[in-house]
Amino acid sequence: MNERIKEIALECIVEYPSTQHWVFNNAEFEKFVGMVVKECANAVLSVPSYYKDYRSQIEEAVIHDCARAVEELNWIEP
């Protein structure tokens, strides 16, 4: 498993059982999913611009639109 995912999970879990299985309650799971989504959006935002002209503005706008779309997805069903 990705180390960052493990770090995020450990930040969310109130109790970590001695077994090697992740156990989340609803609030912990929602926090975990939210943090993973933020991490994905930040990864999109960290993509560097490759153009040195007007295309960089277009590229930057698309990157921000993609990150916003990831963050706005309804990840948790009520």
R_g over Cα of the chain: 17
* Residue 59, C-beta contacts closer than 8 angstroms, at least 6 positions apart: 49, 50, 51
Has residue 61 been placed in a domain?
A: yes
> Can you give the pTM of this predicted structure?
0.68
Total number of domains in the chain: 1
Has residue 77 been placed in a domain?
A: no
Has residue 24 been placed in a domain?
A: yes
Residues of the chain with pLDDT > 70: what percent?
81
- Range of 15's domain? 3-72
- What's the N-to-C CA distance of the chain in angstroms? 28
Has residue 78 been placed in a domain?
A: no
Distance CA 60, CA 49 (A): 7
Indicate the residue type of 1.
Answer: M
- pLDDT tens digits for range 33-68: 888 888 888 988 898 878 888 888 898 899 999 988
* Stretch 8-17: mean pLDDT: 75
